[in-house]
């Protein structure tokens, strides 16, 4: 069932505010999850009225995550994942996909939302052979993330850096490209960057209207970028085919239906 009463606080640093809608909980609502409040459902429905296809973004992004992780484990031999901006646990989380194929995989999740923290501690469990850990930290705090993640991950071996739907929360004045580069630069050769981002495009003008509505009513604020802006995050890396594309068209399984074009773009790239 959905939560209409405050959850028990899992972190002394923050409390769960149910008076304001929050992106992680709205995303959970769009994915059919139960970890959301009435304010999130109301706002999620209002956004969906402005842009009816928004629910497809959440599903396309989740499917992109699954296909990217499957490729990294099965084809690239990756066994370590640093997933920043985890969001609320749903089906087929990074560790579940990775450890199905390689039970020894190690995954560190990072998020700064207290509700995510509460559920992550309960739900993000590991196989006996592998390990799953969770950090209550902000994407902007690169040194702290890497220092604590090193307790679980071996940074002498390749790591997949997962940044799905999180860089949109970094404003232009916060040097988002430098922030991503700082993380990638600290990873060894053979590591990969997996990144997705909602885009602004003339073909889908109602996306921008939905983002404007969110920035007027929700938190944290969003910064839209063009597909070319999103591609810049992969500069200096070996971008894998088919490049930076709508998430539904990144290596869809042959049995999938005809992919729906969504304004959520993603890509995977390798560090040489």
- Please state, for a pLDDT cut of 70, what percent of the chain lies above it: 89
Most confident among 21-35, 84-98, 251-265 (mean pLDDT) = 84-98
* pLDDT tens-digit series, residues 179-227: 999 999 999 999 999 999 999 887 777 788 888 888 887 778 889 999 9
* CA atoms within 13 Å, Cβ hemisphere of 263: 23
The pLDDT of 105-129, averaged and rounded, is 82
Estimate the share of the chain in helix, then strand, then coil, as percent rounded to the nearest 5: 40, 15, 45
Torsion sign, CA atoms 160, 231, 62, 166: positive
**Separation between Cα atoms, residue 18 and residue 15, nearest integer Å:** 9
Report the DSSP beta bridge partners of residue 198. 264
Q: What is the CA radius of gyration of the chain?
A: 18
| Residue 264: pLDDT over 50 | yes
Q: Of 59-68, 102-111, 210-219, which one has max mean pLDDT? A: 102-111
């Amino acid at each position: 069932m959905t939560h209409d009463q405050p959850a028990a606080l899992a972190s002394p640093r923050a409390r769960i505010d149910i008076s304001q809608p929050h992106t992680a909980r709205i995303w959970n609502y769009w994915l059919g999850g139960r970890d959301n409040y009435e304010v999130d459902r109301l706002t999620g429905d209002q956004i969906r009225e402005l842009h009816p296809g928004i629910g497809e973004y959440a599903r396309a992004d989740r499917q992109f995550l699954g296909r990217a992780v499957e490729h990294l484990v099965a084809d690239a031999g990756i066994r370590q994942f640093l997933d920043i901006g985890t969001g609320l646990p749903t089906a087929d989380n990074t560790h579940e996909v990775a450890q199905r194929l390689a039970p020894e995989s190690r995954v560190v999740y990072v998020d700064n939302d207290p509700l995510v923290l509460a559920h992550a501690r309960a739900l993000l469990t590991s196989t006996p052979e592998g390990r799953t850990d969770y950090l209550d930290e902000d994407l902007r705090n690169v040194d702290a993330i890497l220092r604590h993640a090193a307790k679980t991950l071996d940074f002498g071996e390749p790591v997949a850096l997962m940044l799905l739907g999180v860089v949109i929360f970094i404003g232009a004045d916060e040097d988002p490209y430098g922030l991503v580069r700082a993380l990638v630069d600290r990873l060894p050769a053979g590591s990969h960057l997996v990144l997705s981002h909602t885009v602004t495009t003339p073909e889908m003008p109602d996306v921008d209207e939905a983002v404007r509505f969110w920035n007027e009513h929700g938190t944290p604020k969003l910064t839209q970028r063009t597909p070319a802006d999103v591609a810049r995050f992969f500069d200096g890396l070996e971008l894998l085919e088919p490049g930076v594309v709508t998430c539904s068209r990144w290596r869809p399984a042959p049995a999938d239906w005809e992919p729906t074009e969504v304004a959520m773009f993603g890509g995977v790239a390798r560090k040489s």
